[in-house]
Structure 1
Amino acid sequence: MGAIDLKQLLESQTLERCPFPIPVGWFFIDYADTLKPGEMRNVFVFDQEWVLFRTESGKPGMADPYCPHLGAHMGHGGKVCGEHLRCPFHHWEYDTAGWCRHIPYAKLMPPQTKKGPILRTLPMVEKYGMLWAWYHPQCEPPSFELPYIPEMEDPTGYAGTRRGTWTAHTCIQEIAENGVDTAHLKFLHGAPAIPPVEATYEGPIMKLDIGRGYIVGTAYGPGLNVMRFTQQGVTATMISYSVPITREKTQMNMSFRHVDYPEGSKELAISKKLIDHMIGAAEGEESAGFESVDFIVWNHKKYRPNPLLCDGDGPVLQFRKWFKQFYPGFEPAAQG
């Protein structure tokens, strides 16, 4: 019998399922057409509740729900008034940047209201027909922009309305790590072989090439992935935009697009089969989609900060090093 490594054998007793905070980045909040001018509603993301609203002119806003005055929840009885969110309690009004713009009974506004925002709001953009919010734990402004995605933004040339939403009971990092862990494609999904993977990193951007050009993808921080699948000269695109609901719950969202080929064409058939393959629903294929197998793993696994890896594993440690930048000021607890 070999020597006993107690630290290794007992480590799982001290592991956490999701030892990370909410990461920095741009995240999908909802589809733009679900929020009309003058509307507001409560949403729960980033481990807390927020008031999502749209001003009368159409500008989206997202605010901490509790009024800085006396703590009333503005999502219960509050109202959008012109370009402001109005608290129901004393009608203090705030703009989308968190500045207090009006107190109906104040002869003198509190000095702090003239120095800067007093209500936490998140920077928002409307892009790809979606509402996006920038999250940073220290309220710092966006450090990168969302990219141009022709499949989602060009008025002609692309088609496809298919999209889906799934909830995984794990942190967003664990889901993103799948991109570099290509060995699991064979053993968990039943793919015929382990495809080679190349990953390159530059700032908040990660580029992936899986299967030497079969899947070419770019991640823009934790919240947006654009993956293009190519077969027989035909490319179909999966846009993945996951959002952390809590530290241990992630909402996965995907949209699928392809070139607007003529009905009945071979290229259209290949495009549709590629999209079916992305979610594991392609006819005549043996492999299982993420919905049927990945969730079983994600919903029950623990995170090993010091994994035992072998020569056939993908660049897991390089990926984790890149992802650390999205946890500013966070130092994980030492494992015993």
Structure 2
Amino acid sequence: MTSNPPVKADINLAQLLEAKSLERCPFPIPTGWYFVDYSENLKPGELRNVQLFDQEWVLFRTEGGKPGMTDPYCPHLGAHMGHGGKVCGEALRCPFHHWEYNTEGWCTSIPYGKVMPPITKKQAVLRALPMEERYGLIFAWYHPTCAEPTWQLPSIPALEDEGWTGSRRGSWTANTAIQEIAENGVDTAHLKFLHNAPGIPPVKAEFHDHIMDLDIGNGYIVGRAYGPGLNVLEFTQNGVSATMISYTQPITPELSQMNMCFRSKAYPEGSMEQAVAKKIIDHMIGAAEGEESAGFESVDFIVWNNKKYRPRPLLCDGDGPVLQFRKWFKQFYDADASTLAKV
């Protein structure tokens, strides 16, 4: 039995023509804690320019060891403090007239002025991001309108407790928004068809405040996301676990830098457990020896780098909680209703 094709009046043209108006990344930079650099890479007294959150910043460390990250242009006459500026004690000094600013953006010195501008006694005059240094990593809190942090960085036993090992790190550039990368966590159907996994693992996701908890494959992958910029995922096979800590940076709305480190319990040298832990980590990234399925490095980028965002996706009963994830992620955008409507 065959059905007659629908007459033209029954066709949903909006569905068919939507692709012409789709955007690759219709999102602003989301609010959250983000990795800036490894602690070891920023020495006391050092200053350099960095590109993050769709603008340039000056990253520095005071002589006392405190990290700072500010807008590059001096509030006085607009000199770029990342070109000729200097760290002096606990302050960033402008090269033009030697005005100085602390890591919170307060003006602390005008060497030739007898009367400080009144605003300098009331508030910071240079935008400075809140900074935290944990796990050997430097994090900055980003909010588009300078709101203070609404949550703190968590404890991560794999990076802070005794009995863990592993120095493997990786960094990859993805030509897409940070939300698109994070959405992979709830889209388990793609694991079979893109990664060649033997099946589609079940996924449970719970969302509360800035946290998303994931259980993929009934305990095979158990993870927690702390806002957009920090994820901790534990993979378990044969009673052996390895942990991936992911801390992606939004460089621009359409460019993300994926950063990861990999840790496992300090199993005995040469043991079966040590070999399994290594294989798990190999699999997280690419294709592990003896396996047909592939990690993200092998296959995900060709999709991320070329896809467009569907704000009204067609979903079926086999898809994961994509819409629930998007609703949770929406809280990290501080934007007007017209922008959020696209998300």
Contact 1:223 1:242 (8 Å CA) reproduced: yes
Return the offset for 1:281. 2.7
Contact 2:28 2:335 (8 Å CA) reproduced: no
For residue 310 of structure 2, the aligned residue among 293, 304, 309 is 304
| Paired position in structure 2 for 1:144 | 151
Contact 1:20 1:332 (8 Å CA) reproduced: no
1:30 aligns with 2:37: yes
Q: In the aligned structure 1, how far is the partner of 2:109 from the partner of 2:140?
A: 25
Return the offset for 1:331. 2.9
1:101 aligns with 2:108: yes
Q: Which amino acid letter does the alignment assign opposite residue 22 of structure 1?
A: I
Return the offset for 1:181. 0.2
Deviation by residue 1:269-298 (Cα, 9 ceiling, x = unmatched): 111111111112311110122112111010
Which stretch shows the higher mean deviation, 118-127 or 273-282?
273-282
| Paired position in structure 2 for 1:324 | 330
Aligned pairs for 1:1-336 within 5 A = 1-2=5-6, 3-154=10-161, 156-333=162-339
Q: In the aligned structure 1, how far is the partner of 2:331 from the partner of 2:295?
A: 30
Contact 1:60 1:96 (8 Å CA) reproduced: yes
Q: In the aligned structure 2, how far is the partner of 1:286 from the partner of 1:79?
A: 53
Q: In the aligned structure 2, how far is the partner of 1:202 from the partner of 1:283?
A: 38
Q: In the aligned structure 1, how far is the partner of 2:337 from the partner of 2:316?
A: 26
SS class of match (2:337) = coil
Deviation by residue 1:176-219 (Cα, 9 ceiling, x = unmatched): 00000000000011100000000001100000000000000000
SS class of match (2:60) = strand
Query: Matched residues, percent identical?
Result: 73
Q: In the aligned structure 2, how far is the partner of 1:53 from the partner of 1:294?
A: 34
Q: In the aligned structure 2, how far is the partner of 1:13 from the partner of 1:193?
A: 34
Q: Which amino acid letter does the alignment assign opposite residue 113 of structure 1?
A: T
Return the offset for 1:332. 4.3
Q: Which amino acid letter does the alignment assign opposite residue 303 of structure 2?
A: V
Which runs of at least 4 in structure 1 moved beyond 4 Å after TM superposition?
A: 332-335
SS class of match (1:206) = strand
SS class of match (2:167) = coil
Q: Which amino acid letter does the alignment assign opposite residue 81 of structure 1?
A: C
Contact 1:19 1:332 (8 Å CA) reproduced: no
Q: In the aligned structure 1, how far is the partner of 2:280 from the partner of 2:193?
A: 21
Contact 2:288 2:294 (8 Å CA) reproduced: no
Q: In the aligned structure 2, how far is the partner of 1:161 from the partner of 1:184?
A: 29
Aligned residues: 334
TM-score between both structures, scaled by the size of structure 1: 0.98
Q: Which amino acid letter does the alignment assign opposite residue 49 of structure 1?
A: E
Q: In the aligned structure 2, how far is the partner of 1:72 from the partner of 1:6?
A: 53
Q: In the aligned structure 2, how far is the partner of 1:294 from the partner of 1:219?
A: 19
SS class of match (1:186) = helix
Q: In the aligned structure 2, how far is the partner of 1:278 from the partner of 1:15?
A: 31
Deviation by residue 1:109-140 (Cα, 9 ceiling, x = unmatched): 00000010000000001111011000000100
SS class of match (2:117) = coil
Contact 2:283 2:294 (8 Å CA) reproduced: no
Q: Which amino acid letter does the alignment assign opposite residue 200 of structure 1?
A: E
Q: In the aligned structure 1, how far is the partner of 2:310 from the partner of 2:267?
A: 45
SS class of match (2:191) = helix
Q: Which amino acid letter does the alignment assign opposite residue 122 of structure 1?
A: L
Runs (5+) with no aligned partner, structure 2: none
SS class of match (2:219) = coil
SS class of match (1:162) = strand
Return the offset for 1:19. 0.3
Q: In the aligned structure 1, how far is the partner of 2:70 from the partner of 2:81?
A: 9
| Aligned-CA RMSD value | 0.9
Q: In the aligned structure 1, how far is the partner of 2:309 from the partner of 2:332?
A: 17
